[in-house]
Chains A and B, each alone.
Chain A
Amino acid sequence: MGFQQYKFGAAGIGLMFGFSMCITLFGPSNDFRSGVSTWVGLDKQLSLGRVIGFSYEDPLVTGEGKPTTVILDKDPKTGAAIDPPMRAYVYEPGIKFSPGVNHPDLLGPGVQELSQGKGKIGQANMGAGAVFTIGKDEFNGEEVDYIVNATAVNGWTPSEVLAAAGDENMRFVGKGKTIFITEGCWWCHTLLPEQTQDWQFFGAPPFLGDMNGEMPTAFGSDRKAPDLLHVASRNSSREWMTMHFFNPRLVQPNSIMPRYDYLWGKTDINGNSIDMDKWRADYNAYVNGQSIYPPEVPEPARNSEVRALIDWVLTSLR
């Protein structure tokens, strides 16, 4: 039999590969688009802002240019009590909006119409800043959550809302997730409980619509440590989190998690400088049985990276 040359070589590759791409890319795109944003999804994108990770507004990935989430227990305009307290997402002037505000079609059918209509998100202006909240209403007989531009609807301005909330009610969620990404927490902790066996221990897997507008999702793939998607429902203690991040062996002697004491920065919440060498010496004395109690963990400063990280864990991972 003589030599036979293909007549369809490059065309064959193009055809086959193109067919695969159609199935794996074009095929699921309709399913993705039909995802209706849930409350979790809206909360995530509004608290995280446009993008976590490398971007124009944050090229060094330090967590700059992100919105602030506040827990409001009274109306910043009228002073009337809000019970139960609600979340408001404060975008100070110049901070880029989350993807769903600029591209409402990402929100999914129903949420899009309500956000644009009753929520007036079309009137949000980046230069002036805006405050968003999450509303609930009916659309075609279904109850859906939608984005409310509280600046247009209630007349709340960013500075008013921040002043009314006070520091103890601010949550630096966007910066916190940035730290989660840059410190590589997701190399060991997944954000994706499994469909079969994780329900009892780590809670439900995310639903369709739980991540509309989130970037990156950082599900993780290698679980060397517990899943964190609902960690704050299991453990909501800020003190425990603080000790655990500073040195995980303080609360869990067998943990193999790294120490994140460098996220404290130079000073604690009172502006006193943190003497890391002394702390380590005291800690080693405790480990060697020379003292009964470990040294106190410094309380994180307001603008420290670990404060933001704990804010994100306790606010977002419920």
Chain B
Amino acid sequence: MLMKYLFAKNDEIPAGSATIFFGFSSIFWFVVGTGLGSFNAAKLAFPDWVTGTELFAFGHMRQVHVLAVILGWISMAFGMTMMYMTPALGNTKLWSEKLGLWTVFLWNIGLSLGLILLWMGITSGREYSDLIWPIDLVVIFGVLLPLGINVWMTISHRKTQGIYITNWFFGACIFMLMIVFLVGNSPELFNLTGLTEAYLTFWFAHNVLGLWITPVAAAIAYYTIPKLTGNPLYSHRIGHLHFWSIVAFYSTPASHHLMSAPLPEWLKSFASVEGVLILIPAVAFVANILLTMKGKWSLFVENVETKFSITGVLLAIPLNMQGGFQQTRAINWYVHGTGWIVAHAHLALLGMSSFLEAAAVYFGLQAMLRRKLYSLTLANLHYWFFIIGFCIYWISMTIAGLMQGAGKIYEVPYIDVVVAEHPYMIARWAGGTMVFTGNVIWLYNMWMTAREGTIVPSGRYAHELAYER
């Protein structure tokens, strides 16, 4: 069906097609990404499980897990939300469904190719920007540019006065991500070396998180929560405080990832201070959303999209309290490089961000398919597998990280730390596997929704209808 639409006239493509393809692609990559994560975690707990071939070696699969989740699941879920939220918030149609379909098509092709090459070991050897530069160019010009053009043109063709906060984030974050990709990969493109390369690697890594993964996820909540509850956003002005403080403060703290490298000290101090300022947008965001829930807290229990969404918002509280302070010199020396950071990264990506996107993908697919969710039971199963698995993962890795930190400063022989961590590595694998299982359930539930979900009458929203299973 995708092939048919790729060469159809734009007007003949049903509205919402791009959303649907993006949505299912993102869930597919979520299953792949968490499956790889679970497999990798098993190897850290039981190193002699599946050996003898480089194809299933930890070192060949770890980066595939990371990038499948970031560029597959999270970013495609963002693409999906942009395809339906941007026009809805501008009271207009998507500028080009056809361009949207081409974007999702090229994205899947480019990402699959890049990940297969990475799996084979064809890498640039730079963390988070591991993809080789030809694939980077595909991402910039085959994925981000068409996505951006679609979003920017939809915003400029809006039929509303002003631009809602979600669209501010969408439009700006795509632009900033393109710059981040170009600058962050310039060491590969122009063979920049040494400390410049090291710095730009983490400049890229930080800014992808700070200017894409977390702010766009937050922007999604600015749409889903008012939509699901029927309450207007508590304050659009506080939303703008969030937006502008992200652009001003959170585009700068990259060097806090390299506190031990010989970077200029002024840069590290500056990054540290700017990093603490994440608390401004964080408090603005969380307060704004939770105040929007006023009088509608029953939906947190009754409505599965709200459940996912609010869980994500609540997870933003520990995320930003950790993130703001762990990068200061006073705390960084203890936790840097330990499992604490792994736990924190999963809190950002698998916790805060993924829960918000899952809510938006649930909501958007029902809205665009015009079908009610197939099964509430399966959705709740997904939720509980997801949240319990995530909590097991997060707590066990945080404990393991604190032990590693203690081992580091008290100069415990490293192997003793490895021995002490072993139970937590098993817990991490169990937690990751639960998340993976939940996602398989989700994919099935969404597939059945597309095939057998009750058709939503025109003029109604899916979440206004009662669940049937």
The judgment on whether A and B are partners is yes
- Residues of A participating in the B interface, judged by any CB pair closer than 8 Å: 3, 5, 9, 12-13, 16-17, 19-21, 23-25, 27-29, 31-32, 35, 41, 45, 50-54, 59-61, 99, 106, 181-188, 190, 192-198, 200-201, 205-208, 210-226, 248-249, 252, 254-262, 276, 280
Q: Which 4 A-B pairs have the closest CB atoms?
A: A184-B59, A182-B121, A53-B125, A223-B337
Return the contact of B244 from the options A16, A186, A207 (Cβ within 8 A): A16
Instruction: Tell me the bound Cα distance from A124 to B188 in angstroms.
Output: 25
B52 touches A262 (CB 8 A): yes
Return the contact of A187 from the options B58, B192, B408 (Cβ within 8 A): B58
User: What distance in Å separates the Cβ of B347 from its nearest Cβ neighbour in chain A?
Assistant: 15
Return the contact of A258 from the options B57, B175, B262, B411 (Cβ within 8 A): B57
Q: Is B399 on the interface with A (CB-CB < 8 A)?
A: no
B127 touches A262 (CB 8 A): no
A17 touches B194 (CB 8 A): no
Q: Is B264 on the interface with A (CB-CB < 8 A)?
A: yes
Q: Which residues of A contact B270 (CB under 8 A)?
A: 23
A32 touches B199 (CB 8 A): yes
Given A16-B247, A255-B415, A218 and B264 contact (CB-CB distance below 8 Å)? no
Chain A residue nearest in CB terms to B211: A17
A195 touches B259 (CB 8 A): yes
Q: How many A-B residue pairs have CB under 8 A?
A: 232
Q: Which residues of A contact B422 (CB under 8 A)?
A: 256
User: What distance in Å separates the Cβ of A215 from its nearest Cβ neighbour in chain B?
Assistant: 4
Q: Which residues of B contact A186 (CB under 8 A)?
A: 125, 127
Instruction: Tell me the bound Cα distance from A201 to B62 in angstroms.
Output: 27
Q: Which residues of B contact A197 (CB under 8 A)?
A: 333, 408-409, 411
Instruction: Tell me the bound Cα distance from A198 to B124 in angstroms.
Output: 28
User: What distance in Å separates the Cβ of A200 from its nearest Cβ neighbour in chain B?
Assistant: 6
Q: Which residues of A contact B452 (CB under 8 A)?
A: none
Q: Which residues of A contact B125 (CB under 8 A)?
A: 52-54, 181-182, 186, 216, 218
B193 touches A206 (CB 8 A): no
Return the contact of B252 from the options A20, A32, A50, A220 (Cβ within 8 A): A20
Q: Is B51 on the interface with A (CB-CB < 8 A)?
A: yes
B197 touches A215 (CB 8 A): yes
User: What distance in Å separates the Cβ of A145 from its nearest Cβ neighbour in chain B?
Assistant: 16
Q: Which residues of B contact A21 (CB under 8 A)?
A: 179, 183, 251
User: What distance in Å separates the Cβ of B171 from its nearest Cβ neighbour in chain A?
Assistant: 8
Select the stretch in B41-49, B80-88, B292-300 that faces chain A.
B41-49
Q: Which residues of A contact B52 (CB under 8 A)?
A: 259, 261-262, 276, 280
Given A54-B123, A258-B58, A215 and B337 contact (CB-CB distance below 8 Å)? no
